[in-house]
Amino acid sequence: MELVASNKVVGGWHKRYRHASETTHCNMTFAIFLPEAVNKGNKVPVLYWLSGLTCTDENFMQKAGAFKLANELGIAIVAPDTSPRGDDVADDAKGSYDFGLGAGFYVNATMPPYKTHYQMYDYIASELPKLVQAHFPVTTQQAISGHSMGGHGALVIGMRNAQSYSSISAFSPICNPMQCPWGVKAFTGYLGIDTKQWQQYDATALMLNQQFDAQTPILIDQGDADNFLEEQLQPWSLQKAAEQVNYPFVLNMREGYDHSYFFISSFIDEHLRFHAKHF
């Protein structure tokens, strides 16, 4: 791994690394916050944060204001990029923001030309955690969270790998991507037109159809002034599914809040405490 940047913050360290990924067949960048507890020789649990459309590893780390409480709680935070990158990585021909670079949707693409590099599900669920555990003073305790497209990724990866994560949370997640424009566009481009293949990446479909090895608790915060709420996010679909299968699920509707990091920074402490409680 190549160290790209290093900054001391609230007694801990924020660091960015670049590495050659065997999963995405390109260089990937991720950021990690290590609390000051590791300076005393302690290993700490890890929260994986998945960002949304157009974002990189930098958005959450710079805007969420999570470091102070994460340091107090002794939690490391890992923020990967949202897609593969590089000159040879296929992008949307029209250069749209919701497909291609910056919009990997945390799936394993099966359609050319995307299947060579867009293997973000395996990268997040398998390769990156192994890399982090091999190179940093962390325990095997993990939680996962994210925003918007990243909230979708956190829900899907957390639910499908219930034994690997003690808790799941999300801000403004895409809860039923098979039924929204963002999801239909991404799934068609990455996975083809067979909608049966889409179900494995739809949190609502998973909630209704999958036999869980464990029911990892889920916390969602959603702003009621979010301009994507009705068309793209649809949290009520997942809430209804959770009620049908008696899944441990909390949805907080936050009055007046939108889709931005102003919203995330307002409630990130509640999410950190939620994950700390379940470690």
- The residues annotated with a catalytic role in the active site are 148, 226, 259
Structure-token pair, residue 66: 């999570």
The residue among 135, 101, 138 whose CA lies nearest residue 117 is: 101
Phi, psi (degrees; rounded to nearest 5) at 142: -135, 150
DSSP strand pairing (218-223 vs 138-146): unpaired
| Cis before 113 (ω within 30) | yes
Phi, psi (degrees; rounded to nearest 5) at 188: -65, -45
SS3 277: helix
Structure-token pair, residue 123: 């990268």
**Residues 6+ away with beta carbon under 8 Å from 112:** none
The total number of residues written for the chain in this structure: 279
Inter-CA distances, 176 with 152, 183, 198, 255, Å: 8, 8, 11, 22
Which letter does DSSP use for residue 231 in this model? I
Q: Helical H runs in 161-234?
A: 181-191, 195-198, 203-209
Structure-token pair, residue 181: 């424009």
d(CA 251, CA 171): 10
Which letter does DSSP use for residue 100 in this model? B
